[in-house]
Structure 1
């Protein structure tokens, strides 16, 4: 018997025709806005052994109306309603990078698929802020710090609070985070100095990203908010400052603008990575399913850049503490409060200032941070590179 040929995936867009390596077993991509959900529903029922991917922006360009048929392995999507598929996560899928096919919404049924890495010779257009994300997360285009963005964060434990939930800080910061999540996400528990530091970061984030792009030559794509696609982790969320390149070889950009204890004009860029950012960047890589983060420290006096790689053992360590904080402190207290038992919520479920494993996690974080490579340093407009990763 002749061996069956596996067709090659071809993406057609205004920028031309882009081919991807063959991938094994059947799948179909269709536009989800076909006038009604009927055709999509019938297609899903007709091909129960195929996964149906819903591509939502193909109608914007006539050259993108083609239905792509190619092979892929994965669990069948039979039983997933069209509305659910249209809103489902970006999966572990070979990225198609072009604004005319953004966003590419892909059904959760492919979340276990590991695609081949693109060859070094492959070339795709990467226009600013139109990069298609193809990753193991549920994305949102809500602008950061918008009303919708705050609403999305309300019922999630976000990566920016991981160090607090882990008990890294002295005082009542872990308790204040618990109160914020239990009683009201609108309660402002941050001290005045922390608020000013946050304002400084927000004010200078765009300038920092622009400088990062100037130094590295990388295009930075934006994403408002992302939630882990696996149901057991859907209480976790992230708001990365930028995405770099296509999944699976792309990374994440995290920008920091030190406030320097109220004197940002005299701040100097870090010479080493602060350990307390390790939980945040490792959490981002887990949620976004990416393998590296560029941590960029921007000041008015210069900048430094560090490359942090994903460590799954570290995630397993901090996940247990985060899970305990959320499911044994926050959620039971919320339920007690909803049942009118406010005193029980406070007395029984209030967390300790630190966790029994906080010391271990801080030690591991310090060691990892000290081993994180400095990629480059910029002082007075002069950039010095220490690694060829750029």
Structure 2
């Protein structure tokens, strides 16, 4: 074999050896990648299992909380001998606040049913499932209401020769996770709901207040509510809102569905904002409202 041929053979053997080493490196990298993918998939499965366990634990906790509420409701029924449940806790007290946080209340019904322009159901769901904290600690409007509502109540009693009885927290007979805190009871059949807007009295009942009032009327088994819109610099407006079984029949399935979403930790569907006005008109059309003239 000539020197040139020997050099070519030697070079070919070196190329074969180099290719063999490269193939081994590739195989090793493939094995490492496969192992990494397997570890990643195992971690994902473990994370999913932990999330599922957490979901089950949250549901069990809420079920226990609901069972506690049912036991409290049974106790109320046994003590009062009635189907209606009236809690004696005073509005604004520590126990009143705790009782409210265990349920969602009539003031939130408009949010749940998508007739409020100030909040969305998904935000309330996130709050009730512990995903966010409630940042609201009061503002100028709530301070104004706390200051003027007693004044408005006394004005109403004088203007209409009515006696308003203060009351506590009411729990819904059919659904113990629903509650209401009316501003007052009027006679045997009526409620009082007071609002103190900043700029001018309402000339009609806003849709989110209508949901609140209809919820209060159903829970307390009252026939009507006088909606007082009070402004210290203008004549107050009083509108009588009558209980609407049709409105309650429209609202209750939505409240139950929302409670189910809280229990299962599944988010409720988002209602499109562009349909807000249509939803408000549809709901308000179910209600009868009349101005109450001064006697």
Same fold by TM-score, threshold 0.5 exceeded? yes
Match of 1:158 among 105, 119, 122: 105
Question: Aligned-pair distance for 1:209?
Answer: 0.7
Taking the TM superposition and a 5 Å limit, the aligned residue runs for 1:167-246 are: 167-170=114-117, 173-183=120-130, 187-190=133-136, 195-230=139-174, 233-246=175-188
Aligned to 2:267: 350
From the CA coordinates, give the structure whose radius of gyration is larger.
2
Match of 1:280 among 199, 205, 212: 212
Kept in 2, the 8 Å contact 1:142–1:148? The answer is: yes
Q: RMSD between aligned alpha carbons? A: 2.9
Q: Give the 3 Å change call, closer, same or farther, for CA 252–355 of structure 1 in structure 2.
A: farther
Match of 2:196 among 253, 257, 279: 257
Q: Give the 3 Å change call, closer, same or farther, for CA 170–208 of structure 1 in structure 2.
A: closer
Kept in 2, the 8 Å contact 1:180–1:189? The answer is: no
Consecutive unaligned residues in structure 2, runs of 5 or more = 1-70
Kept in 1, the 8 Å contact 2:114–2:279? The answer is: no
Q: Secondary structure at the match of 2:230?
A: strand
Structure of higher RCO (CA pairs closer than 8 Å, 6+ residues apart): 2
More strand by share: 1
Q: Give the 3 Å change call, closer, same or farther, for CA 358–227 of structure 1 in structure 2.
A: farther
Q: Give the 3 Å change call, closer, same or farther, for CA 202–84 of structure 1 in structure 2.
A: closer
More helix by share: 2
Match of 1:363 among 278, 281, 295: 281
Question: What is the CA–CA distance in structure 2 between the aligned matches of 1:368 and 1:304, rounded to whole Å?
Answer: 21
Question: Aligned-pair distance for 1:168?
Answer: 2.2
Question: What is the CA–CA distance in structure 2 between the aligned matches of 1:374 and 1:237, rounded to whole Å?
Answer: 27
Question: Aligned-pair distance for 1:166?
Answer: 1.1
Consecutive unaligned residues in structure 1, runs of 5 or more = 1-82, 91-104, 112-136, 259-263, 334-348, 377-384
Aligned to 1:318: 251
Q: Indicate yes or no: 2:259 matched with 1:332.
A: no
Q: Give the 3 Å change call, closer, same or farther, for CA 140–367 of structure 1 in structure 2.
A: same
